[in-house]
Amino acid sequence: MKSRSFVPKILIVALGVILVAFFGLWFFMGKYPHYIVKGGVKNNPQGVVFIPKQAPLMVSLLINPNELGIITKLFPSNDEQKRILKAIEQLRTNLLSQAQVDSKEDLQNWLGDEITLAVTSLDYDHNNDNGVTPGYLLVAKNKSPQLAREFLQTYYGKQAVSNNAQLIFEKYKGVNLVFQQPTVANASIKQVAAAVVGDFVLFANDIQVLKESINNAQAIDLNLAHNLAYQKAIASLTEEKVSVAYVNLPSTSAWIGNKPDIENSLINQSLTLSLSLNPQGLITHTALFGVNEEENQPPSLTKPPQTLAYISDNSIFAVAGVNLEKFWLSIQQGLKENNPLCQLIYQGIHPLEDSLKIDFAENIFPYVTQEYGLSLSINETTKELDWLFVNETQENSLNKSLDNIAKNRGLSVGKLPLNNNTITAWTQLVTTSKNNFSNVETQVKGVYIEKDSYEILTNSVNVLSNTLNHPENNLLETSNFQSIIQALPNNNDGYLYLQWQPLKPYITKRFPVIKIAELAFKPLFDNLKSLTITMDSVENDIRKGTIFINLSQ
């Protein structure tokens, strides 16, 4: 039985080459051609003409990965850089070996400046007897069709062709196809099909997938280039880039779950991303289609929210913006039920709701129509996460509303001195030993203060004390965060910031799938310092955003 896990070796190599190129090009971008220093190129993928409109996933590298060959001449002196470089070279060597490609020179002679990999369908043959069989297609631009054909001849000549398989040559709509076909039942044959079509070399995991890709190119209305969502998204991503990715959210969710069909065919949502290089890391520009906004919405901020000045510089997670209620309503109204993005957002806030026994949508969001900020930091004693919430004071006080909720749940609400300030605390009396009411202690469930037209709420007296006593130690004024802000659009709807290494144990526990991504992209995650996300605007049914990936130098 075939399964989704089967991906032809040559397609695995494509993923590896793209990964190595991303990391390697950033690592040495100061010594690369001018277009790399600028962040990338203006080109958009041309190989999308072979990819069907309904494809779940597409990722394209828009520069020639052969330039990585100069890495050996740029060997750095720093020991940490040497270790990273060795890991990159080892990864590339292993990938080439798995595909039975002797060396990178086998590719250099013909490989052009684009590699596009796609999941073309969830189940290309719809045959229950062989399980779910997604279609995979690799489209590589070639510098010479003749050299590309010679590569295919050499590549197939090295495959283990025996009495169990034979090479088949077939002409389809004017294109010469080559593929392996088993000669006996149940033979374990990797049925990689390939063809040279003009300036492109195509590889697919089945001859049917390859033929459909040729149909897509010849009947233009069938291919991804003529998908309205993709057209709008790619037109909005005008920045220089080294890569583009397109994700049909419902279909990709089904592909990850190894399902032959999507659950809700009425959902039409997609995410298109472009990746640019930056001296400090990587910048991803995003375009989300299908948010169902009624009208265009300009960014609500022209400078960072002042709430960031009350968030400690040792925070491992922070989010800040304006009008939290409006943002949440747009998420609820624009993203339909069972949408994976909506589920991800809910999973992020649900643990906090559960801990506080508060419904955020009912008890928090209606009171947050101005600037807000939320942060998490590690309690050095318990190693648990402390949280802090900052809200610009409004006519309807959030804290007064929470006072009433606390009283209704049996908590005591009272004033306490803290250095030169008076704070409000929510407390509860608990016994420290079983059935011994003589041993009672007071547990602090939350504290807050109103200061400088802001309401500051946290679960920790120590966190609030540090915020009040050391206002200079805030996230907004750190040099690292300032450099991140400079790499992002000035006009946006707020920031989401996280420090990866200290947050990793907590986030991987909540989302185990991240461990899989970390293993697949180990060189990237090992050197990931922080991740910062902004939402920029809504225009022409597209919600734009920017992600800054800050990497170790």
- In this structure, the answer to whether residues 240 and 297 fall within a common structural domain is no
Q: Where in the sequence is the domain holding 61, given as residue range(s)? A: 9-255
pLDDT value at position 106? 66
Q: How many CB atoms lie within 10 A of CB 551?
A: 19
- In this structure, the answer to whether residues 485 and 364 fall within a common structural domain is yes
- In this structure, the answer to whether residues 402 and 494 fall within a common structural domain is yes
Domain boundary among 255, 276, 304: 255
CA distance 228 to 359: 38
Backbone angles phi, psi at 54, to 5 degrees: -90, 10
Tell whether 320 is covered by a domain.
Answer: yes
pLDDT value at position 48? 96
Is residue 57 a contact partner of residue 270, using CB atoms and an 8 Å limit? no
- In this structure, the answer to whether residues 327 and 219 fall within a common structural domain is no
- In this structure, the answer to whether residues 226 and 315 fall within a common structural domain is no
Is residue 204 a contact partner of residue 216, using CB atoms and an 8 Å limit? no
CA distance 245 to 268: 17
Q: Which residues pair with 272 in a beta bridge?
A: 246, 287
Cβ neighbors of 472 (< 8 A, separation 6 or more) are none
- In this structure, the answer to whether residues 176 and 101 fall within a common structural domain is yes
pLDDT value at position 365? 79
Q: How many CB atoms lie within 10 A of CB 174?
A: 8
Q: Which residues pair with 245 in a beta bridge?
A: 59, 273
CA neighbor of 447 nearest in space, from 465, 432, 430, 429: 465
DSSP conformation class of 44: -
- In this structure, the answer to whether residues 205 and 297 fall within a common structural domain is no
Backbone angles phi, psi at 466, to 5 degrees: -65, -35
CA distance 476 to 307: 9
- In this structure, the answer to whether residues 297 and 173 fall within a common structural domain is no
Tell me whether strands 528-539 and 542-551 are parallel, antiparallel or unpaired. Answer: antiparallel
What's the 3-state SS for 448-473?
A: EEEECCEEEEECCHHHHHHHHHCCCC
With residue 95 as reference, give the H or E element that holds it: helix 79-98
Residue 28, phi-psi category: left (phi > 0), alpha (psi -120 to 50), beta (remainder): alpha
CA distance 226 to 30: 37
Q: How many CB atoms lie within 10 A of CB 476?
A: 20
Tell whether 285 is covered by a domain.
Answer: no
As given in the structure block, the two tokens for residue 396 are 């309807």
Place of tokens 């003749």: 146
Cβ neighbors of 212 (< 8 A, separation 6 or more) are 52, 120, 124, 135
90-121 per-residue burial string, b: 16 or more CB within 10 A, e: under 16: ebbeebbeebebeebebbeebbbbbbbbbbbb
Nearest 5 degrees, angle CA 461-CA 466-CA 472? 155
As given in the structure block, the two tokens for residue 153 are 């001849």
Tell me the HSE value of 133 on the side-chain side, using a 13 A CA sphere: 17
CA distance 340 to 345: 9
pTM: 0.79
pLDDT value at position 190? 65
Q: What is the dihedral of CA 242, 247, 252, 256, to 10 degrees?
A: 30
CA neighbor of 308 nearest in space, from 397, 367, 379, 390: 390
Q: Which residues pair with 57 in a beta bridge?
A: 119, 247
CA distance 539 to 289: 10
- Residues (pLDDT < 50) of the chain are 1-32, 68-77, 80, 91, 95-96, 98-99, 334-341
Length of the chain: 553
- In this structure, the answer to whether residues 132 and 188 fall within a common structural domain is yes
- In this structure, the answer to whether residues 140 and 214 fall within a common structural domain is yes
Tell me whether strands 440-451 and 421-431 are parallel, antiparallel or unpaired. Answer: antiparallel
- In this structure, the answer to whether residues 162 and 77 fall within a common structural domain is yes
CA distance 466 to 458: 12
pLDDT value at position 478? 94
Tell whether 273 is covered by a domain.
Answer: no
Tell whether 448 is covered by a domain.
Answer: no
Tell whether 60 is covered by a domain.
Answer: yes
CA distance 265 to 341: 16
Domain boundary among 255, 280, 306: 255
Tell whether 473 is covered by a domain.
Answer: yes
Is residue 542 a contact partner of residue 289, using CB atoms and an 8 Å limit? yes
DSSP conformation class of 293: -
- In this structure, the answer to whether residues 247 and 360 fall within a common structural domain is no
Tell whether 366 is covered by a domain.
Answer: yes
Is residue 245 a contact partner of residue 19, using CB atoms and an 8 Å limit? no
Tell whether 270 is covered by a domain.
Answer: no
CA neighbor of 348 nearest in space, from 362, 360, 357, 337: 360
**Helix, strand, coil percent content, the chain, rounded in steps of 5:** 40, 30, 30
The total domain count for the chain is 2
Domain boundary among 255, 273, 304: 255
Is residue 318 a contact partner of residue 374, using CB atoms and an 8 Å limit? yes
Chain center to CA of 100? 31
